[in-house]
Amino acid sequence: MTRLDSWLDQATRRLSRDSAAQVRAEIKEHYESAREAATSRGATADDADQQAIAALGDARTANCQYRKVLLTAAEARILRQGNWEARAICSRVWLKRTLVALPLAALIAATVFFLMGSLETARILLIAGLGTSLLFAAPMLPVYTPSRSRIYRVVKGLAIVAMLTLVFGSDALKWSWLLISCLWPVFWVERTRASIRRKLQVADWPKQLYL
Amino acid sequence: MNFKGTLPTLILEALRHEPNHGYRIAQQIKERSQGVLDFKEGTLYPALHKLENEGLVKSHNSIENGRPRRYYRITESGRKALSKDRAHWREVSQAVTIILGEARQ
């Protein structure tokens, strides 16, 4: 393994396959230019190689900086999974219609039960309506600009808080262990999505990043 | 010399007149600062990617002397950001000069 290969292995650690390929290409290009320049100044092949690697600096520092601006393997996986889910739903019209109708039906039923005075059933249906609308109906909404996306995310946050309040009410503190253990994957995915948004240009955002 | 935080501005300045590839951008910064601003070249590309994500530079592939090269060019928003950074830097350097000048007396 050459010095450059081991430098690249460290610098591309935990990056996605595409990001790693991009880094390898640009650093190889840079290294070749630096080596040629050193050789033309009279350095031997080994010295030129050493100088070119030294000029690149610490591979771990570069890796840290690359991970802040290029997609990591975990982020690429989340994007792939999200794209698969969206394709699975959007490619079947009947499924798409059912998933839009489901939360709507739940919300209408909740209103009816509320008017009939059956508060407990209305509460359960409202929770189901809010939950299914967040899960299923959101991908069908016309959210395709960053400003709409921000508004949607605020509404989503409020809906989640409303749902939790309806489910736990004043017992929220007592059940906080359950809330934290159930919600951390949601927070983790949201955090990863925020990081992906920073790394991709808006033109390259898939639908799931707007949500 | 450590010039953390100013690398993106120096890159934008290096691209102000013409598009360039990474190696030449690094050499230009070193040469124009007469070797004072010496940085590790491995950190140049993450900075370039960040500028590209922010829409301040754009890149395209090209062939130079039979070798594939990735060229970067400054965008209109990049020029605006550069003039803002330049004004900010003037203010900061003026303030530091005043403080250090006072300290010497």
- Asked if residue B2 is part of any domain, the answer here is no
CB–CB of A69 and B21 under 8 A?
A: no
Smallest Cβ–Cβ distance between B42 and the set A57, A69, A200 belongs to A57
- State the average pLDDT for chain A: 86
Pinpoint the alpha helices (H) of A57-92.
Answer: 59-69, 73-90
Segment 20-49 of chain A within 8 Å of chain B by CB: 23, 25-27, 29-30, 32-34, 37
Domain of residue B41, CATH code: 1.10.10.10
Per-residue model confidence (pLDDT) at position A84: 67
User: Identity (one letter) of the amino acid at A80?
Assistant: R
Name the B residues in 23-82 with CB < 8 Å from any A CB: 23, 26-27, 39-47, 49-50, 52-53, 55, 67-70
Kindly list the distances between the CA atom of residue A94 and the CA atoms of A5, A98, A99, A137, A141, in Å, as whole numbers in the listed order: 51, 6, 9, 13, 17
Nearest residue on chain B to A8, alpha-carbon basis: B42
Q: Any residues with CB less than 8 A from the CB of A75 and at least 6 apart, and which?
A: A16, A192, A195, A196, A199
Of A179, A197, A198, A176, give the one whose Cα is nearest residue A187: A179
Residue B52 lies in a domain: yes
How many domains does chain B contain in total?
Answer: 1
pLDDT single digits (tens) A135-179: 777 777 788 888 988 998 898 888 888 888 888 877 777 888 888
B1 lies in some domain: no
Name the residue range of residue B47's domain.
7-104
Q: Is B44 a member of any domain?
A: yes
Please indicate whether residue A205 or residue A39 has the higher confidence score (pLDDT). Answer: A39
User: For residue B15, is it within any domain?
Assistant: yes
Closest Cβ–Cβ partner in A11, A33, A198 for B42? A11
Q: Which pLDDT band, with edges at 50, 70 and 90, does A36 fall under?
A: very high
A11 touches chain B (CB under 8 A): yes
Residue B30 falls inside a structural domain: yes
How many residue pairs bridge chain A and chain B with CB atoms within 8 Å of each other?
69
pLDDT greater at residue A64 or residue A173: A64
b/e per residue, A49-58, with b = 16+ CB within 10 A? bebbbebbbe
How many alpha carbons fall within 13 Å on the CB side of residue A27?
31
0.80 surpassed by pTM: no
Rounded CA gap, B43 and B51, in Å?
Answer: 13
pLDDT of residue A39: 93
The contacts of residue A186 (CB under 8 Å, 6+ apart) are A160
In tens digits, what is the pLDDT along chain B, a chain of 105 residues? 446 678 999 999 999 999 999 999 999 998 888 878 778 888 899 999 999 999 999 999 988 878 888 999 999 999 999 999 999 999 988 998 999 887 655
Tell me the per-residue pLDDT of A94-131, one tens digit each, with 9 for 90 and over: 877 787 788 888 889 989 998 998 888 888 888 888 88
Nearest of A10, A9, A56 to residue A32 by alpha carbon: A56
Query: Quick check: A99 and A47 in contact, CB under 8 A?
Result: no
**Which are the contacts of A142, defined by CB distance < 8 A and separation ≥ 6?**
A148
What average pLDDT does this structure show over A30-47? 91
- Please judge whether A61 and B41 are an interchain contact, meaning their C-beta atoms are less than 8 angstroms apart: no
| Residue B64: per-residue pLDDT | 82
